[in-house]
């Protein structure tokens, strides 16, 4: 599908991959997100504080990870519909190295279709390194 093409409900099938995207979180990303969200917990930008509470180092904000996971799906649905519901389970933290940051990959697949309500459940796999960091990450999108 081209970047400008809108998805069409009738063309979807369970198992279709609708979007794949990768993000790199840097320490700068975390500080900017802290400013935007108002979440200035120092475990998100100071190694010494993170280690003092038993963490290996700085972690990305959970809501930053959640938002990054949903973003490609909302871009994919565009004007063809809207997100009716979004739920995740935070299963593992995303450690953000001071030098290399953290690479997060997102793969969104059609998990279920409901022709009566014209909705699709989009299952989103979110991985950092070899670890799934969001469990049962699902968006329900409704088509116009």
pLDDT in tens, 67-113: 999 999 999 999 999 999 999 999 999 999 999 999 999 999 999 99
Say which DSSP state 9 is in. Answer: G
**Angstrom distance (rounded) from CA 77 to CA 81:** 6
CB 67 within 8 A of CB 124: no
What is the domain partition of the chain in residue ranges? 14-143
Structure tokens belonging to residue 31: 């500080």
Taking 50 as the threshold, does the pLDDT of residue 1 lie above it? no
Instruction: Select from 1, 2, 144, 136 the least CA-distant residue to 69.
Output: 136
Number of Cβ within 10 Å of residue 125's Cβ equals: 17
Q: 0.85 cut: is pTM over it?
A: yes
The number of C-alpha atoms within 13 Å of 9 and in the hemisphere containing its C-beta is 19
CA-based end-to-end distance of the chain: 19
- Cβ atoms of residues 75 and 6 within 8 Å: no
Architecture of domain 14-143: Roll (3.10)
Mean pLDDT of 128-134: 96
Mean pLDDT of 114-138: 97
pLDDT tens-digit series, residues 10-61: 999 999 999 999 999 999 999 999 999 999 999 999 999 999 999 999 999 9
Task: Determine the pLDDT at residue 5.
Answer: 84
Report pLDDT for 4. 58
Query: Is pLDDT of 2 > 60?
Result: no
Find out whether 43 and 59 touch, Cβ atoms under 8 Å.
Answer: yes
């Amino acid at each position: 599908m081209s970047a400008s093409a809108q998805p069409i409900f009738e063309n979807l099938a369970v198992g279709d991959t609708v979007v794949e995207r990768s993000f790199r979180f840097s320490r700068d990303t975390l500080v900017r997100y802290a400013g935007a969200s108002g979440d200035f917990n120092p475990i998100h930008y100071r190694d010494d504080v993170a280690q003092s509470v038993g963490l290996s180092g700085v972690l990305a904000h959970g809501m930053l990870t959640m938002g990054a996971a949903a973003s490609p799906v909302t871009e994919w649905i565009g004007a063809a519909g809207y997100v009716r519901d979004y739920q995740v389970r935070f299963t593992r933290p995303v450690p953000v190295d001071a030098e290399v940051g953290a690479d997060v990959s997102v793969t969104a697949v059609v998990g279920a279709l409901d022709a009566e309500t014209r909705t699709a459940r989009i299952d989103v796999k979110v991985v950092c390194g070899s670890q799934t960091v969001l469990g049962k990450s699902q968006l329900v999108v409704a088509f116009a």
